[in-house]
Amino acid sequence: MAAIVTSNLVKKFGSFEALNKVSLSIESGDVYCLLGPNGAGKSTLIRILTGLMKPTSGNVRVAGMDLKSSAREIRQKVGLVSERVILYDRLSPVENLLFFASMLHVSRKDALKRIHDLLEKVDMLDWKDKPVRVFSTGMKQRVNFIRALLHDPEILFMDEPTQGLDPHSTRTIRNMVRELNESGITIVLTTHVMGEAESIAKSVGIMHRGELISSGRLEDILASLRRDRVTVTVKGSPDFSLEKIEGYQSEIRVDGVVKINFQPGWTIEDVLPTVLRMKLEVIDIEHKRPSLEDVFVKLTGESS
């Protein structure tokens, strides 16, 4: 079942077209990463999907409901962790979160229990009664993260949630994303950091100049580039030319071994039988898959 479906989604700001006929489908239970540089349209798409902004044209369904007729109901089903931290500096985490819980119509009793549990999960329980103004950026973002979870949403949107954070806060939020997804929550995450997406995504969408140029399962997106690189290391120093091996690209001879590099796209299954038939003693095989950044550069012609 699809948690989110858009069809020919367009958003214009005057003559500028921020989104150009974006059509996507995100399955329930997915961790879907929207990738692309600043200005690609990621944040605009998130604002529309969460009901904070109206599209110029196109159709949107979130949690089985049509955005045009059920925007208020959709907002009750989704949570949003924005890049901008929205907290009151003079209040403590508990006071901040109780205020936001009341706006979400969560009872004080239920909110206090949930706040306690979530603060513990993000390693902030010891700071629960201290004013937010003394917190680091990472600590504030961890509390901001909890704010989006107070009403137990079905779908959690995260717009560049780890940008500028310290390693501890980044790791904490990534671990929480995995845990929330394992509990059944659908996660939609925007980032321009390809390595972050590779570490947590199940599916990815690549945006470029307002268009969704590729979307699918992570492993399928990576496989689409067909640029796997294989290096076979053999013992000794063969006295015959290795160029006769099909797929051969280059070699490095050092310290009594030879590293044979094969052309992009050749797999271990392609090259190993020939190497063994030549009675070469294999001591190591290295297989490098393309990264999301490789795919992005190939599809867009520019780096992330």
pLDDT at 17: 95
pLDDT at 168: 86
pLDDT digits (tens, 9 = 90+) for 120-167: 999 999 999 999 999 999 999 999 999 999 999 999 999 988 887 888
pLDDT band at 84 (very low <50, low <70, confident <90, very high): confident
pLDDT at 225: 63
pLDDT of 265 above 80: no
Average pLDDT for residues 195-206, to the nearest whole number?
89
Average pLDDT for residues 50-58, to the nearest whole number?
93
Hey, what amino acid is at 280?
A: L
pLDDT at 226: 63
pLDDT digits (tens, 9 = 90+) for 206-244: 999 999 999 999 888 877 766 678 899 988 878 788 888
pLDDT of 303 above 70: no
pLDDT at 161: 85
Residue 4 · residue 188 · CB < 8 Å: yes
pLDDT: which is higher, 227 or 56? 56
pLDDT of 188 above 60: yes
pLDDT: which is higher, 86 or 226? 86
Q: Give the start-to-end residue ranges of the domains of the chain.
A: 2-223, 229-288
pLDDT at 69: 92
pLDDT band at 302 (very low <50, low <70, confident <90, very high): low
Average pLDDT for residues 245-253, to the nearest whole number?
88
pLDDT at 246: 86
pLDDT: which is higher, 288 or 252? 252
Q: Closest Cα partner for 159 from 82, 53, 241? A: 82
pLDDT band at 85 (very low <50, low <70, confident <90, very high): confident
pLDDT of 304 above 60: no
> Quick one: fold of 2-223?
Rossmann fold (3.40.50)
pLDDT at 38: 82
Average pLDDT for residues 187-195, to the nearest whole number?
87
Give me the phi and psi of 142, to 5 degrees please.
-65, -40
End-to-end CA distance of the chain: 32
Confirm or reject CATH 3.30.70 for domain 229-288, answering yes or no: yes
Q: Rounded to an integer, what distance in angstroms lies between the CA atom of residue 34 and that of residue 45?
A: 10
